[in-house]
Amino acid sequence: MNIERKITLSNAAYLVLIVIIAGFAVQQLNSVSEKQRFLEIADDLNASFLTMRLSEKNYFLFNDDNALVDIQSNIVQSSETLESVREDIVPVIGEPDYQSLRSGLDDYAAAVAQENSTHARDPATASLIRERGRSLENTSNQIIHLERERISEIISRSKLLLFVSFFAILVVALIASRSVTRSILRPIKQIERLARSISAGNFRKVETPKPRDEFGPVIDAINSMSEELEEREEELIQSRKLASIGVLVSGVAHEINNPVNNITMIAQTYDDMYPKLSEEQRIDFMRKVDQESERIKGIVTNLLDFAKPREPKPREIDINDLVVKALALVQNTLDVSRIDTKLQPGEALPHLFIDDNQVQQVLVNLFLNAAQAMTPGGRLFVTTALQEDGKMVDVVIRDTGKGIEPEYLTQIFDPFFSTKEEGGTGLGLSVSYSIIRNHGGNIRVESTPGIGTTFTIQLPVQTIQKGKS
Amino acid sequence: MSARIMVIDDEKIVGDMAKISLEEEGYEVETFLSAAPALERLKEASFEIVVTDLKMKGIDGLEVLKTVKQLHPESKVIMITAFADLDVAIEAIKADVFDFFPKPVRIKELKESIRKALAE
């Protein structure tokens, strides 16, 4: 269900609840006001009944014949009232109560009418009239009392109902708002994680089932942005390469110029000084010419790698074996520089489909960089581990060297950027970066000047399917 | 008394070859692979000629030139550069550089320049 529907639905639920409660409250109020109206009428009737009882006394005690006429006119009045409000009070007090009032009044009227015809004032008639008058009064009082009780009952029930429904609304609101909030927050968290990993240069996608609400399209958009960024990064690398052709020309010229100068100086000295040179010196000169030629060859090879990175030829490789092999290649250099190596191979790592020659080149390059960054006694930590989601294997190479200044960190993968004091073509990391990216992996660097540098190579567990290549 | 020549270049072969060729001419030659120890040495001894590479990590050839002129105004500085950069050349001339040599260096020309410098 999408979020808009959820919000609309929960709002509709509140509305229905409130309408029901309001309807109930209105009904209760109506019933109270009807009863109130009955009580007013009953009070009027009661007042007439009292007047009749008073006239009764006047008639019997003070022999006032007019009193009987008063009683009769009061009876007629009350009877008319009862008749005219019949429609109003029957629903309130019910037909039986109404009938008992009616018959009480009729009985009383009959007794009074009989006395009026004789004016006998005998004790039997007197007591009958008194009896019926009292009974009428009692009936009326009882009904009023009962109705008062019902009113207070209705009021306290309404109070309770309003109280309960207030809590019901509160609970519904809490549950609904929690569910809506959660369905908004969860995808936001997902998106946040994704954005972080994208900004770290890791062009992942949201793999979990997409929510079917408004966040579905958002996640789609971010996923396609991630893809786009990944493509653009490739383009950026290519255009950076183009942009660095200028740097390349002067860089290569400078790099090659030094060994060329060395060779020409050796050649001139050899030529000028030939008779005076010893046999060993002549051999030493030629060896140096050879070494300097090797230097030029190395620069040219690096250049070719940079200009046209070879397609990786992946094979199934145990990354721990490869790390051990690469370490063995640089062991001599590490020993000479008195660098202590600590290898922590991850256990039960899945095999990777990688070009072992290329990845080994990257490892050797990073090991040598680390060795050059350290003074004797430095330590090199190499760790391999499977990432939590099982999709990538990390090779972490940490040194205790001098570190890289923060302002250089963004440039170290750029071609021809070098911080080395002596030589360095500035191509090693740039070529390493291309190799790892060509494998669908990633290479990251963190460094603190004076503390050391950590390179993390991330290689996908299976970008190239078995049997596909 | 033979003239004293200092050669500063981070390429060891440059110093080695210069030393062999210049000692053959009868000069006393000291070579350095970077500017810092060379400048230390200049505090205790003077050299008639200082041959220095321009582009070096740390202290570069221009700074060497200026420091030499400060410590020993009579010393002559000859600069070796990989590239002829006009801005650097102007700055070097202002700082009273004696001569400029682009790499690859012709040793005969270098010797000739040193002879001229010593004759002045």
Q: What residues does each domain of chain B span?
A: 4-119
Q: Are B62 and B91 in contact (CB under 8 A)?
A: yes
Contact A273 B21 (CB under 8 A): yes
Could you say which residues from 8 to 47 on chain B have a Cβ atom under 8 Å away from some Cβ of chain A?
Answer: 10-11, 13-14, 17-18, 20-21, 24
pLDDT for residue A469: 37
Selected residue of A249, A261, A287, A372 to mutate for chain B interface (largest B Cβ count, 10 A): A261
Block means of pLDDT (10 residues each) for chain B, 120 residues, are 90 95 95 94 94 87 94 94 79 92 92 94
Ramachandran angles phi, psi of B6, nearest 5°: -110, 135
CA distances from B26 to A253, B1, B7, B112 (A): 35, 10, 15, 14
* Residue A420 to chain B, least CA–CA distance (Å): 9
For residue B120 the two structure tokens come to 């002045």
Outline where A274-355 has alpha helix (H).
Answer: 279-307, 319-336
- Give the fold, CATH level 3, of B4-119: Rossmann fold (3.40.50)
Could you say which residues from 37 to 96 on chain B have a Cβ atom under 8 Å away from some Cβ of chain A?
Answer: 55, 57-58, 82-83
pLDDT for residue A467: 42
Chain B residue whose CA is closest to A276: B24
Query: Could you give the CA distance from residue A230 to residue B60 in angstroms, rounded to a whole number?
Result: 42
> For residue B106, which residues of chain A lie inside 8 Å, CB to CB?
268
> For residue A264, which residues of chain B lie inside 8 Å, CB to CB?
104-105
For residue A324 the two structure tokens come to 């051990």
pLDDT for residue A201: 67
> For residue A266, which residues of chain B lie inside 8 Å, CB to CB?
13, 17
Return left, alpha or beta for B29; rule: phi > 0 is left, psi -120 to 50 is alpha, else beta. Answer: beta
Chain A residue whose CA is closest to B106: A265
Contact A265 B104 (CB under 8 A): yes
pLDDT for residue A1: 65
**469 residues of chain A, pLDDT tens digit each:** 677 888 888 888 888 888 988 898 898 888 888 888 888 888 888 888 888 888 888 888 888 888 888 888 888 888 888 888 888 778 778 888 888 888 888 888 888 888 888 887 888 888 888 888 888 888 888 888 888 888 888 889 888 988 888 888 888 888 888 888 887 888 788 788 878 877 766 666 666 666 677 778 888 888 888 888 878 877 776 666 666 666 566 667 777 888 999 999 999 999 999 999 999 999 999 999 999 999 898 888 777 766 666 677 888 889 999 999 888 888 888 888 889 999 999 888 898 989 888 898 899 889 988 988 888 889 999 999 998 888 899 999 999 998 888 878 777 777 666 665 555 566 778 888 888 888 888 888 999 998 999 999 999 987 444 443 3
Query: Could you give the CA distance from residue A319 to residue A352 in angstroms, rounded to a whole number?
Result: 7
Q: Are A338 and A376 in contact (CB under 8 A)?
A: yes
The DSSP code for A333 is H
pLDDT tens column, B92-115:
999 999 999 988 999 999 999 999
Query: Could you give the CA distance from residue A269 to residue B111 in angstroms, rounded to a whole number?
Result: 12
Using a CB–CB cutoff of 8 Å, tell me whether A264 touches chain B: yes
Could you say which residues from 412 to 431 on chain A have a Cβ atom under 8 Å away from some Cβ of chain B?
Answer: 421-422
pLDDT for residue A122: 82
3-state secondary structure of A317: strand
pLDDT for residue A59: 87
> For residue B103, which residues of chain A lie inside 8 Å, CB to CB?
257-258, 260-261
Could you give the ipTM of this predicted complex? 0.92
The answer regarding whether domain A239-307 maps to CATH 1.10.287 reads yes
Q: Are B102 and B88 in contact (CB under 8 A)?
A: no
Query: Could you give the CA distance from residue A280 to residue A458 in angstroms, rounded to a whole number?
Result: 50
* Residue B118 to chain A, least CA–CA distance (Å): 22
Q: Are A256 and A299 in contact (CB under 8 A)?
A: yes
As a dihedral over the C-alpha atoms of residue A49, residue A52, residue A53, residue A56, rounded to 10 degrees, the angle is -160
Using a CB–CB cutoff of 8 Å, tell me whether A238 touches chain B: no
Which CATH number is associated with domain A3-178? 1.20.120.230
For B82, the closest of A254, A264, A273 (CB atoms) is A254
Give the CATH class of A315-460. alpha beta
pLDDT for residue A306: 62
Chain A residue whose CA is closest to B103: A261
Chain A residue whose CA is closest to B80: A261
Outline where B1-120 has alpha helix (H).
Answer: 12-24, 35-44, 61-71, 86-94, 107-119
pLDDT for residue A58: 87
Contact A268 B18 (CB under 8 A): no
The DSSP code for A274 is G
Contact A268 B17 (CB under 8 A): yes
Q: How many CA atoms lie within 13 A of A31 on its CB side?
A: 18
For B104, the closest of A264, A276, A421 (CB atoms) is A264
